[in-house]
Structure 1
Amino acid sequence: MRSASSLLLRLSLGGTLLLSAAACDKDNDTDNDDPAQVTFTQAGLYPEGTQYDDDNDRFLVSSQTAGRIGQVADDGTYRQFADDERLVSTIGLKLDQASGRNRLLAAVSDPGYNTTRTTNDTRRKLAAVAIFDVTSGTRTGYVNLGSLRPAAAAHFANDIAVDDAGNAYVTDSFAPIIYKIDLQGVATVFLENAALAAPAGAFGLNGIVYHPGGYLIVAKSDEGALIKVPLANPSSFTKVTTTGLTLTGDDGLQLTDNNTLLVACNAQGQVYRLSSTDNFASVTQTGSFATGAVYPTTLARRDGQSYVLYSYLNALQQMQNPPVEKFSLTRVAF
């Protein structure tokens, strides 16, 4: 359900958009109607990405094995939201409903887990984004990002952020690239740098968020690092100082206000709350939430609260048989 605490108000201050303090104050409020955990049963689904669709009271979830995008109600009912033969494996999701943009963007890759759709041409080589109308589930666009760098050894579109103008930024975990897709669907390489590469077979660039101060924050999983990328000059990217922190396996990122970042670290079974007082030149840890060995991948925002996805992708990677049947979205409590 939609509550006033779910609205993020933006104020203009010196030309920079900031999340209002009123929205930040609501972050500790809990809507009594919101469940502590939503569990759904879909044997072998292995979702990696999620978003909460406030207008339609549902979580949206991806799938590495089926490709389709599903919707989950609070009672655990799972239904298909969208499917398409091009959805080999869906990874990160980004709901974009600002300025009348009623769309869901889904990162599409092929790690080889969807046995009915994987091919030799796409396995570990696919990086794409599929775009859907949120109301109907109709696919309205498909952008092949890997075609911008066909000579790269491997591709894996992982996560998506959207800026205020509607430009989408997409991380490639197997190539040191962040792509940009404008509202017309034109894709370009926004940033490419060998310093962002990961060892072969390892996941590098991963979760990504847009900060209204005019930059991106990106997780680099192989290093447990955070990268700050200015939109105006992406080549001037810097590492966020994380002295004393261990962010190994950092994956999904979520800004809860201008100075607070949540980081899901799947290898550790933790969600960390990080705070910054210097515009994310550096961060300090101000909280942690232990998930256990459920391979938390990313977070959804609902009524001023954060829900972390228990993906169990470790079981998929180990080819566990029988596969995991139940998956959960759990409210994070620090």
Structure 2
Amino acid sequence: MWPRRAAAAVAFLESAAGGISYAGDGWLHECAKWDAEGGRFLASTFFGGGVAEVRAGEGEAEERVVVADPVAAGRVALGLAVDAPRRRLLLVYADRPPRLGYAALGAYDLGSWRRLFLTRLDVPGESTFPDDVAADEEGNAYVTDAKGSKIWKVGPDGALLGVIKNATFVQRPGLRHNLVGLNGIVYHPNGYLLVVHTSGGDFFKVDPKTETVRVVKVRGSLRRGDGLELLSPTRLVVAGLPNRLVESSDDWETASVTGQYVGPVHRIGSSATVKDGDVYVNHIVGFGLGRKKTHVLARAVFSPLAVTS
């Protein structure tokens, strides 16, 4: 009885702070994004291998599974992106850890949840762990490989168009600096990708047409950075430990960490999204002892940080 009361108390405190708590299956939900037209959050269910929708209301909500693709059964569901102009959801699939082989990108219609395509990205004998995805204005999708530090490019119809590989993605040798490589990714309206390297804390600006890769010089640390969310052409959020606000005044040649949101100490930020102008951070680990865990999308209020030269 006590664990249930404790979980309920935690959920109440977090929702009272402006967050959204909901009941869902499993401990881990890796990524959540706001679907403005649908009026709902969409969350990847990790070991559940699919996507659940969450509609915020009074009290604690409960997720409803909307994607459970039998072709991807037994895989984990990781990063997702709402491709609003084409009203579709992009979802990354990977092998269940510790296996590091399977990699795929699925696309699903946001109205009917009909599968549009499911594209395999891996090649035989290669260790991969696909993690996050972003879409450009033409409908091309870009998937990061956290194991191999590369980016797959998938066309609007699901065709694998190529792989962006560059030695610049590995700034320092050794497992400690590369245990988790390229992770969060966003497409900037000026025509390039911004990508964070989790273990190294490095930040990259990638031209998807020429495959040119530049290191963004960042004042402040982005180590343990995970999912990204672009707030404006000059500001973005890096979810992680902690969650950071990053700004640039020169088209992301350089940038500065200008704010920080720590959040509940028992939660780990893994992705961020924007709803009605507010930033919500998805926390990957649920809370509770029953089959249903309490998951939280915390409304993030960033504390300003002094920018050092």
TM-score scaled by length of structure 2: 0.83
Q: 1:56: Cα distance to partner? A: 1.9
Aligned residue number for residue 252 of structure 2: 280
1:96 aligns to what? 83
Give the counterpart of 1:206 among 183, 191, 196: 183
What stretches of structure 1 move > 6 A for 4+ residues in a row? 320-324
Tell me how far 1:323 sits from its aligned partner.
8.1
Which structure 2 residues correspond to residues 219-230 of structure 1 after superposition, within 5 A? 219-230=196-207
1:164 Cα deviation after fit: 0.7
Aligned equivalent of 2:268: 295
* Matching of residues 131-150 of structure 1 within 5 Å: 131-147=107-123, 150=124
Residue 177 of structure 1 contacts residue 189 of structure 1 at CA under 8 Å; is this kept in 2? no
For 1:2-151, what aligned pairs fall within 5 Å after superposition?
A: 36-75=18-57, 76-85=61-70, 86-87=72-73, 88-98=75-85, 101-112=86-97, 123-147=99-123, 150-151=124-125
Q: Does 1:190 align with 2:166?
A: no
Distance 1:194 1:284 in 2: 24
Equivalent-residue separation in structure 1 for 2:151 and 2:185 (angstroms): 10
Q: For residues 95 and 65 of structure 1, what CA distance do their matches in structure 2 show?
A: 21
Question: How many residues of Structure 1 are paired with residues of Structure 2 in the alignment?
Answer: 277
Q: How many Å apart are 1:110 and its aligned residue?
A: 1.4
2:128 to 127, 131, 155: 155
Contact 2:221–2:257, Cα closer than 8 Å, also in 1 = no
Could you tell me how far apart the structure 2 residues matched to 1:331 and 1:186 are? Answer: 37
- Aligned partners of 2:174, 2:268: CA distance in 1, in Å? 21
Counterparts of 1:229 and 1:294, CA distance in 2:
31
The one-letter code of the counterpart of 1:271 is: N
User: 1:257 is matched by which residue type in structure 2?
Assistant: S
Is the Cα–Cα contact under 8 Å of residues 225 and 250 in structure 1 kept in the other structure? Answer: no
Question: How much identity, in percent, do the aligned residues show?
Answer: 29
Opposite residue 243 of structure 2, the aligned amino acid is: V
Tell me if the contact between 2:27 and 2:285 (Cα under 8 Å) persists in the aligned partners. Answer: no
Give the letter aligned to residue 145 of structure 2: D
Q: Secondary structure in 1 aligned to 2:196?
A: strand
Q: Given the superposition, is the C-alpha separation of residues 42 and 282 from structure 1 closer, same or farther in structure 2, using an over 3 Å criterion?
A: same
- 1:321 is displaced (CA, Å) by 7.8
Q: Give the residue type in structure 2 aligned to 1:222.
A: S
* Structure-1-length-normalised TM-score: 0.77
How far did 1:177 drift? 1.5
**How far apart are 1:94 and its partner, in Å?**
0.5
- 1:194-273 aligned at under 5 Å gives the runs 194-197=167-170, 202-234=179-211, 236-243=212-219, 245-265=220-240, 268=241, 270-273=242-245
Offset, 1:214: 1.2
1:176-220 CA distance string (max 9 Å, x none) = 210111112111333112442585682101000000111100010
RMSD: 2.3
In structure 2, what is the Cα distance between the partners aligned to 1:60 and 1:251? 18
> Partner residue of 2:7?
none
The equivalent of 2:300 in structure 1 is 332
Distance 2:119 2:228 in 1: 23
